[in-house]
Chains A and B, each alone.
Chain A
Amino acid sequence: MDTSRSPMEPSGFSKKIAAFIIIVYTVVTLIPITWIVLTGFKSVDSAVSYPPEVIFEPSLEGYVNLFTARTRQSEEYLDSLPPPETWYEELVRSKDMVITGPSKFFSRYLNSMIIGFGATFLSIFLGTLAAYAFSRFKVPLKDDLMFFILSTRMFPPIAVAVPIFIMYRKLGLGDTHIGMIILYTVVNLSLAVWLLKGFMDEIPKEYEEAAMIDGYTRFQAFFKIVLPQATTGIAATAIFCMIFSWNEYAFAVLLTQFNAQTAPPFIPTIIGEGGIDWPAIAAGTTLFLLPVMIFTVVLRKHLLRGITFGAVRK
């Protein structure tokens, strides 16, 4: 008998099958992302050429178009201008256009940042406190309250879009940052409370009791002892909250137009001269993917431990 591996260790053959499935899955998932990243570096013409160009001459036209507003001008007018000062002006001129100013993309992107991180922070802040209370104290009707919190996620959030729309108009919260932060926090909170309560339950209450006997108040014990040990759970929960707030589209379309519009409803509206500007849209999408990817990579160590929490005890 082969004793070199433990009975739980999968055989070489099933490992190979698993690896094969993972590779296929990875390739399938990466195709659209690769396509988007590549399209961002194509020119407007090659982006729509058929058959699709796999090998092409890279161009920053998409990114330039994404960040600038331009108008088409007559040749005589263009000739009368002084020579272009920067590489992007030159690029725009070659298409018979001039830059009239920055586009709205940057402000929309900033809105996404403010609302995404704001809602994530608020969800985690409130969720941690609520989860701690539910985990440690005798709360009257605890089980019913927990069920109620969960029940707010039993229907798709967009099902209540109309009442929320009316409510937000009356309250003056429509198209405001704070309004969107509140909305995303409300949606995230049930997930945050439930996830974090699970993590809090895993932290023995003896730690805080010891701290309280050692001369600290419950609040001090919470911040000094409980919170550092809950970082795994908090990181995992934060990623889920961030992904939702960052990607949310339906409410953003409905409730924001100008002041607080986030990137998701803005990107598809990037229309170039004489047709949809696919490279600019692809460039916007690529940039849009980055923060949430960086956020996840930074916290991925915690995420993995978070998912396996309970199975792996220190």
Chain B
Amino acid sequence: MEFVKITVNGEIYSVKNETTLIEVVRDRGFDEKRIAVEINGEIVPKASYSETLLKEGDSLEVVSFVGGG
């Protein structure tokens, strides 16, 4: 099985090639309804999380929100 290295909020992870963004989001314990995600500086639309395939070197910034205001 082939693996690729990605970074999520600055930490390096090794994931299976062709892993989707939604899989990483769930694996890392994020609540997909409470986040915004940027890959290599570009915002990823919510609707494309399940078809976004991660490739070697991708840098993910996941911002999560908690309640209160």
Query: Are A and B genuine complex partners?
Result: no
Task: Please give the residue numbers on chain A whose beta carbons come within 8 Å of chain B beta carbons, in ascending order.
Answer: none
* Chain B contact residues, CB within 8 Å of chain A: none
